[in-house]
Amino acid sequence: MPEKTSNFYDVYTASLNRQGEELCGDQVKVLRTADRTLVVLSDGLGSGVKANILATLTTEIIMTMLRESVPLKEIIETVIGTLPISKERGIAYSTFVIVEIHHDSNRFDIFNFDSPPVFVLKEGRVVQMEQEEVSILGKSLGFMSGRIERDDFIGIVSDGIPYAGLGVTMNFGWGWENVAEYLEQIFKEGVPAAKTVVDSVIGKAKTLYGNNIGDDATFVGIYARKRNTLMVFTGPPLKREWDKSYVDRLLRFDGRRVVCGGTTSNLVAEYGGKKARIDPGTMTEDYPAMGSMAGVDLVTEGILTMAATLKKLQECRGNLSTVPEDRTGPCLLAREMLSADSIHFLVGQSVNPFHQNPLLPKNISIRRNIVEQIVALLRKYNKEIVVEYC
């Protein structure tokens, strides 16, 4: 996979449910394509099941049409025309914000329908963006556009964030301006990822609400940063004459490098002029020992470790912070994968007879089956994945 020099748009979201509600009335959808990053936040009127259904309906309609490249004006007309109006309050049953980032130009477009203003930070400072008012089917929407450069940040909130503390610890809630100041303070302390910002804001909002969260509160952060890349080489290639070229590709890769499997690590040692060492102290009752090698960030056993890694990835549901910090192969490999934005798998197809299910055709190995399950899960977690069988 060629190195990508463009920004990576790190998207992270977190929510608080209104006190006593099992479902959140805010919903977020994220879609990454080769040329766009799309984010939709919808806030359903009220809270609980009804609000959740309305917000889910809104995000699904918008994202489905965005995925098919339907023009934004047509999408918004469809949503506004579909959503009913509250007879009591005279407002739409669901509000929304759409953010579209174009990878080739770093341009962003934001449509805001009755949601709090979006936060845009450049060089750690909140900037005031010009917002146009666009009328669609008699409804007024805010529209803004600009360029998002490396280290810039876009923050989208439902009204539960600026209202945090309303009627609890503060008479008028936290307020948009105070949230903006809080964001600037976070950036003064350094920001490695969108999660850092989002978790801090959500934590502050929860504190302001005390033990009585008065409204669903959601914060979505979009942070432009360098892409974290990872290459995983597992299994020897089908033909011996391919060994050296794949080892060279691994060792030239610009990013983190992982080798899974004893035979694979021996190939890297042989053709890369490296020395592989096994660390017996890393062996446990459940997992084989790991190794080490200059130029490679992680060396593990193969099939057993990858199968256990799949289980860790399933259990954590994409949340890195819930993966145990044990220094075992599966935990370390799961953490490498969840910390990466783009992952390139080099999967050798030479079948070890000891790792082959006799009920499967010879060209379908247990290794390949495990890799395909891991890949499907990582894509679900919004990772950019390339799989190359060799």
pLDDT, one tens digit per residue, over 290-311 is 888 899 999 998 889 999 999 9
pLDDT of 376 reads: 95
Average pLDDT estimate for 313-323 = 90
Does the structure show a pLDDT above 90 at 3? no
Where in the chain is CATH 3.60.40.10? 8-225
- What whole-number distance in Å separates Cα of residue 378 and Cα of residue 373? 9
Backbone angles phi and psi of 21, in degrees to 5: -105, 135
Average pLDDT estimate for 196-221 = 93
Does the structure show a pLDDT above 50 at 117? yes
pLDDT of 73 reads: 81
Helix pair 48-67, 72-82: axis angle to 10 deg: 150
pLDDT of 26 reads: 94
pLDDT in tens, 332-389: 999 999 999 999 999 998 765 554 455 544 444 788 899 999 999 999 888 989 999 9
pLDDT of 382 reads: 84
More confidently predicted of 316 and 358: 316
pLDDT in tens, 153-183: 999 999 999 998 775 555 578 999 999 999 9
More confidently predicted of 363 and 23: 23
pLDDT of 2 reads: 37
Does the structure show a pLDDT above 80 at 123? yes
pLDDT of 100 reads: 94
- Name residue 192's amino acid: P
pLDDT of 91 reads: 54
- Are 115 and 139 in contact by the 8 Å Cβ rule? The answer is no
pLDDT in tens, 240-285: 888 899 999 999 999 999 999 888 998 998 888 878 888 887 888 8
pLDDT of 88 reads: 58
pLDDT of 283 reads: 83
Per mean pLDDT, which of 39-53, 105-119, 314-328, 361-375 is the most reliable? Answer: 105-119
The domain 8-225 having CATH identifier 3.40.430.10: the answer here is: no
